[in-house]
Amino acid sequence: MSGDLPTKRDYRATIFLPQTDLPMRAGLPQKEPEWLEAWEKSALYQSLRDAGRDRPRFTLHDGPPYANGDIHIGHAMNKILKDVIVRAYQMTGHDAPYVPGWDCHGLPIEWKVEEAYRKKGKNKDEVDPVEFRKECRAFAAKWIDRQRTQFKRLGILGNWDNPYTTMAYEAEARIVQELLKFAMSGALYRGSKPVMWSPVEKTALAEAEVEYHDHSSTQIDVAFPIIKTDIEALSTAKVVIWTTTPWTIPANRAICFGPDIDYVLVEADELSDGALIKRGTRFLVAEALLSAFAQRASITVHGVVERYRGADLANTVCAHPWRGRGYEFDVPLLPGDHVTVDAGTGFVHTAPSHGEDDFIVGQKFGIEVPMTVGGDGRYYDHMPLVAGDHVYKVGDKICDLLAENHALWGKSTFVHSYPHSWRSKAPLIFRNTPQWFISMETNGLREKALAGIEQVRWIPARGKNRIRGMVSDRPDWVISRQRAWGVPITVFANPVTGEILQDDAVNARIVAAVREEGADAWFAGDPKRFLGSDHNPDDWEAITDILDVWFDSGSTHSFVLEEREELHWPASLYLEGSDQHRGWFQSSLLEACGTRGRPPYEAVLTHGFTLDADGRKMSKSAGTGLSPQDIVDQYGADILRLWVVSTDYFEDVRIGKEIIKGQVDAYRKIRNTLRFLLGNLAGFEESERLPIDQMPELEQWVLHRMAELDALVRDKINGFDFNPYFQALYQFCIIELSALYFDIRKDALYCDAKDSIRRRAARTVLDLLFYRLTSWLAPILVFTTEEVWQARFGVDAKSVHLQQFPETSASWRNPDLAEKWTKIRAIRRVVTGALEVERREKRIGSSLQAAPKLYIDDPERMAALDGLDLAEICITSSVEVIVGRGPDEAWRLDDVPHVAVLVEQASGEKCQRCWVVSEEVGADAANPDICNRCAKTVQAPGCGAA
């Protein structure tokens, strides 16, 4: 029938259009705080604990962020990832509590408080230690409150009312208790050792507090005259060393050679202008480095006099270049495995006070380890020639003094990577200092830690080799710092022998006092209160050094995992950035293995760092620094959460404005999927539910995909790998649901009779999809899924976060059907591709105006179509299937062979209800402008106005 009937009928009331209150626009920045308030009022976290009371426990132990400053994007990624994992485990049959924590002691806070005092004209040393510590405590508390608010805004669910902090009195008492275990076992000792030292902050730094930046250094070649040797030809020669730290020359006590390196005795024959060496001088260098050294020393012609193996040089002794000026000691040549021919001269200047390898050599051969530099970076008064000079400024003076003794043979500057303080950004030095150590060998700590590493699941697996290499080679653990804000090293030592007082009763009094008064008790109290009547205070020195903050955080397992009723020891998972192999993961490993014999965790996951959109370090000054607060305020926390799971977070990840906009687009598509489900489930009742065996193939295929996804998401949860988890759900939503299943089934959902098999099957599947998609997405899109859940079930419904992932029957799996539908979907792609061409050429508008001819010359593909309504699947008014190759002008896709399509116009009239073009339109006299299917439907009960 034509469209010019005297009156057109309005069929809108007969169509089952989607009905939902869920708005298309999310408005997340405005709505999310309302959900946070609702969860707070309903005590959602406690409800989760009550619901999981009898389930297996999953404990993710929160690595404590530092209580200083607003959270940055790295914090946000870390906390969101933890939250996603905890929520996923909670929804898969576990009790998964989350107790957040904060690291409160240490230099950054002390630095800020000291800065405030300086602004008032006060020096930190003038302030009472207890008062200073009180200010530090208040500073940390302020930032804990601020960060807590910021973390909660990200949708992080946890025990925010009762977090752990390393400055809580109970925590400080447990940290002291853990320290005293090492003291009582004999593993704690005071020694002298070169440590990374910041002259600016006047304290030792842990490796994790060190950053490496490019630094311009002076490199010098220095000649040491040989004064004793078994080799006569060397008696008048000089050994040349190369160093990039001229300030360590006053501390030189030996020279190292490589026993297997080839060395040459060389005579300088011709020199260019500016040479500092004298013509005819003989010297020793590694043969492989002779050419490079000669160039640095401006030697144009030289001759090799003799060749030696490194081992031949044993029993050779040099004098210090400043002999006769206060440096009268011998400088022996010693073998060293650390010597290479990568750079320099093949001889390594050895200053045991200022280098790890140097110190080891000194210990091995009984070489003096002098105290040369004070905590402020100035040479001690007993140091000849350089007393009182600062190591940062003494370089030129050192060179001048060497030149005066004709010992400076080369000098230039070069840029290299050099350690700097993470706080002051100033370059560091290695400095020999009295420090407190935990031995890696006493009681077999290294062996226990290495064995413990093998017990742990490392994700990604490369983390295992990384931390194993670090533990294998690490020196004893330096646990002391010369600071004011932290847990003190609460031991008494004999001032003469250095022996530690080992007395359980004394230790018990110390722990009790700290538990009652905090660590201030150690500074404010009279030592007698701890020593009791059994020990004379005059015989013992109360140590006032502060514990390394890594010992604090490394002990959290003892006062969080062991003490909190809702948690368990060991933790199921530790999760932090990849830098924590040398930080929290390692300090926790060493602390627990030293006191309990095994690691405090069963699995360790590391994520990468956050970089800008170009893969560079984020920089506010460069305009690439995005704060989580800015993203949340503009787009909502769910967008930021979506970004986290969309990245391969095992590697470094990128973030930028355009990347976030991409997440907004992905979110919109997911929201539209959920909105479609809601709209088409309006009024769904159990009586509509159709048994699976009565469903069409298309629905059974969707069930198969749900079964596959159910297995995938559970597997990825077990692997803590939410990128493929999310990508699978996202692709399912936009490709298999929105672009395929929903597209095909819109006609049945909108236009079929209310109780038709197709419509009931589709609504049953939509219901099953709704429960699964909202549950699977709930750990990620915490606000949106709650909104969707309540949009369907009402505001009084239990939270979606209290649900479990629905069980999915194995009977839904149908690999044969899946294989068949792979073929069908490929054929459909060819048809839709041909339709797109027709649309582009404006030969059709809607696909329902088309009646494609489908040519197939493959029996397997032809068999796949048997019994299917291909017009329904391709959303056309009809499809004619023809066996054969088809004409040359037919549309084809290279990756779908044996299939061709010619698109023709559909014949007949357009149904005014379903828009199908059909010869049937007009066959029903009572409804002359609609097709037969629609005519029957509008007359059926429950269809609306017929």
pLDDT tens digits for 198-231? 888 887 776 767 888 888 888 889 999 999 898 8
Sorted by sequence, the CB contacts under 8 Å of residue 595 that are 6+ apart come out as 178, 181, 182, 558
* Amino acid 648: pLDDT: 92
Q: What are 447-469's pLDDT values in tens digits?
A: 999 999 999 999 999 999 999 99
57 forms beta bridges with 95
* Amino acid 3: pLDDT: 43
* Amino acid 946: pLDDT: 32
- Determine the Cα angle at 929 with ends 923 and 932, to 5°: 45
CA 1 to chain centre: 66
685: left (phi > 0), else alpha (psi -120 to 50), else beta? beta
* Amino acid 6: pLDDT: 44
C-alpha distances (whole Å) from 248 to each of 115, 344, 390 are 31, 16, 12
Concatenated DSSP letters of 810-838: GGG--HHHHHHHHHHHHHHHHHHHHHHHH
Contact between 96 and 90 under an 8 Å Cβ cutoff? The reply is yes
Instruction: Pick out the residues of the known binding site for L-isoleucyl-5'-AMP.
Output: 576
* End-to-end C-alpha distance for the chain, whole angstroms: 19
Instruction: Pick out the residues of the known binding site for ATP.
Output: 620
**pLDDT score of 581 more than 70:** yes
Q: Which of the four pLDDT bands, split at 50, 70 and 90, describes residue 117?
A: confident
* Amino acid 621: pLDDT: 56
Sorted by sequence, the CB contacts under 8 Å of residue 412 that are 6+ apart come out as 218, 219, 296
d(CA 331, CA 352): 12
Sorted by sequence, the CB contacts under 8 Å of residue 734 that are 6+ apart come out as 669, 673
**pLDDT score of 788 more than 90:** yes
**pLDDT score of 41 more than 50:** yes
Q: Which of the four pLDDT bands, split at 50, 70 and 90, describes residue 173?
A: very high
Contact between 784 and 695 under an 8 Å Cβ cutoff? The reply is no
d(CA 443, CA 452): 15
Q: What are 828-846's pLDDT values in tens digits?
A: 999 999 999 999 999 999 9
More confident residue, 311 or 571: 571
Average pLDDT over residues 917-931: 89
Structure tokens at 374: 């004070």
Beta-sheet strands, E only, within 552-595: 573-577
More confident residue, 311 or 416: 311
* Amino acid 100: pLDDT: 98
Concatenated DSSP letters of 90-111: HTTT-B-----EEB--SHHHHH
CB atoms within 10 A of CB 414: 10
Which domains are assigned to the chain? 215-414 (3.90.740.10), 654-813 (1.10.730.20), 827-907 (3.30.2320.20)
Instruction: Pick out the residues of the known binding site.
Output: 576, 620, 911, 914, 931, 934
Q: Which amino acid is at 422?
A: W
Place of tokens 């955080």: 553
Alpha helices in 271-394 (DSSP H): 290-296, 356-365
d(CA 53, CA 48): 9
Instruction: Pick out the residues of the known binding site for Zn(2+).
Output: 911, 914, 931, 934
**pLDDT score of 801 more than 60:** yes
**Per-residue b or e along 667-703, where b marks 16 or more CB atoms closer than 10 Å to that residue's CB:** beebbebbbbbbbbbeebeeebebebeebbebbbbbb
DSSP letter (8 states) at residue 441: S
d(CA 480, CA 191): 11
3-state secondary structure 726-781: HHHHHHHHHHHHHHHHHHHHHHHHHHCCCCCHHHHHHHHHHHHHHHHHHHHHCCCC
Q: What are 381-431's pLDDT values in tens digits?
A: 898 999 999 988 888 898 999 988 888 888 888 887 888 887 778 888 888
* Amino acid 945: pLDDT: 41
Sorted by sequence, the CB contacts under 8 Å of residue 43 that are 6+ apart come out as none
**pLDDT score of 364 more than 80:** no
Helices (H) and strands (E) in the chain, counts: 29, 32
Contact between 894 and 937 under an 8 Å Cβ cutoff? The reply is no
